[in-house]
Amino acid sequence: MVCSSAFTTLGRAQASAFGHANLPIGVVPHPFGLRTRDGIRELAEWFVDDVARLACRSGSEEPSAISSGSLPSQRAALLEMAGDLDAFNSLFRERRWSDGLPMVPPTIERVDRMLRYTRRAREEVVGLIAPGFGAATVERIAINGVLAGCDPDYMPVLIAAAEAISTPRFNLQGIQATTNPVAVWLIINGPIAKQLGINGSYNCLGQGTWANATLGRAVRLMLQNIGGALPGEMDRSTHGQPAKYTFCCAENEEANPWEPLHVERGFARGQSTVTVVGISGTVNMNTHAKDAGDLLKIVADTLMQPASNDYWVGGEPWIVFPPEHAEILKRDGLSKADVKRRIWEQAKMVAGRMAAKDLARTAKARRAELGEIGPDTLLPPSTLPEDIGILIAGGPGTHCVCIPSYGNMMRSVTREIISVT
């Protein structure tokens, strides 16, 4: 394994997750950005010798453990302890099974109540959660749901979310192990949003709604406890962001003048879905624009950030429009596709706004898409207009939200929620 010195903890943790705790690691000094070309060449020559030395080391590296991902029938272990809530939370903090907030003990009775809301067997593997590729069995999903405080009937949403984040298109490996402050955003569509009381109106991206808070939190705990992404180990985020505790909302379908997100993605209006998105943060846009042209100009200008991952690789930025802004766009004769096209065209950014190093990596990352890239090249925020996400959510007001994506080979994934009737 080859790691820079800042990522050896991640390398060792991931090697252990795959059952190779003793795998040799070749370490390159970090960072590279301040080195000259001659310095990089000297470093490479030294490193080749080091790799050869490690490869020729006597003895063979034997697997020291078996990856949890290879044990689909493994049941969660039972832990017996006194019924003291303080002692329970202290133990879970000590073992790093906590997100730092108080947790609900996942007793046999509580987990069994969650399992009543699915017909899938408790040992069935729903997906493998990167970067540790732990097996997300139905039972383990239920356990993390209980820990987060989820009501039992939230279980079908958690199963669908586990399926979605495990999909290769979502690039969970990149999302979990990056230095970027990436969080997973859950968007709920269809009848289940109203049934479970998931908020898509006032303060839908904030606090105050039990379903929003606990569903997003349960997914974060799955990412940590099943996927192994512990902060400072496999989770290498430089700063993180508050959305890494929880980020979940419904779409405000009743106030949506167009088709809702899940219908746009090929599902029937009466189906329920969860969409997972890897996001870098949120930017509030407080604009009193009263016509479509003025409004979209502000949105496009806000998207144009020289240090945005979306411009580096051609990502998947999202715009959350409140009902008031959606009505303005609809009134002026625009479809959702029209809105995406106009934002995409107006948000093209002059590549020269980037730092020199960022422009160089963009020139490589997007050459196949855009051809040769120079300082005067106009960079769209996504490869195609269709890659821009549009969500109608929130209550009355003149605020829309720009949500930059992780961008790096990440695309959102939507899965149907199968409820027990």
SS (H, E, C) 139-163: HHHHHHHHHHCCCHHHHHHHHHHHH
Going by C-alpha positions, the residue among 294, 305, 296, 308 that lies closest to residue 345 is 296
- Sign of torsion, CA 386 391 396 399? negative
Going by C-alpha positions, the residue among 260, 283, 242, 99 that lies closest to residue 187 is 260
Under DSSP, is residue 285 helix (H, G, I), strand (E, B) or coil?
A: strand
Residue 15 has what pLDDT?
83
Residue 49 has what pLDDT?
84
Q: How far apart are CA 217 and CA 407, in angstroms?
A: 23
Q: Residue 342 is encoded by which pair of tokens?
A: 């106009």
Q: What is the pLDDT of residues 262-302, one digit of tens each?
A: 999 999 999 999 999 999 999 999 999 999 999 999 999 99
Look up the pTM and report it: 0.91
Q: Where are the alpha helices (DSSP H) in 97-209?
A: 108-115, 138-148, 155-165, 172-177, 191-196
Scanning the structure block, which residue is given the tokens 């240090």? Answer: 307
Q: Residue 155 is encoded by which pair of tokens?
A: 């279980």
Task: Decide the pairing of beta strands 318-321 and 389-392.
Answer: parallel
Sheet-wide strand order for 389-392: 283-286, 399-403, 318-321, 389-392
Strand partners, 277: 185
Residue 387 has what pLDDT?
97
Q: How far apart are CA 364 and CA 371, in angstroms?
A: 9
CA 132 from chain centre, in angstroms, equals: 16
Q: Quick count: other Cβ atoms within 10 Å of Cβ 409?
A: 15
Residue 58 has what pLDDT?
56
Instruction: Determine if residue 38 is left, alpha or beta; phi over 0 gives left, psi from -120 to 50 gives alpha, anything else beta.
Output: alpha
Asked if 417 contacts 186 with a C-beta cutoff of 8 angstroms, the reply is no
Residue 345 has what pLDDT?
98
Residue 378 has what pLDDT?
98
Residues with pLDDT less than 70, the chain: 58-74
Specify the amino acid at residue 96.
R
Residue 71 has what pLDDT?
45
Q: How far apart are CA 156 and CA 241, in angstroms?
A: 27
Q: Quick count: other Cβ atoms within 10 Å of Cβ 408?
A: 18
Going by C-alpha positions, the residue among 173, 181, 160 that lies closest to residue 133 is 173
Residue 190 has what pLDDT?
98
Q: What is the pLDDT of residues 117-169, one digit of tens each?
A: 999 999 999 999 999 999 999 999 999 999 999 999 999 999 999 999 999 99
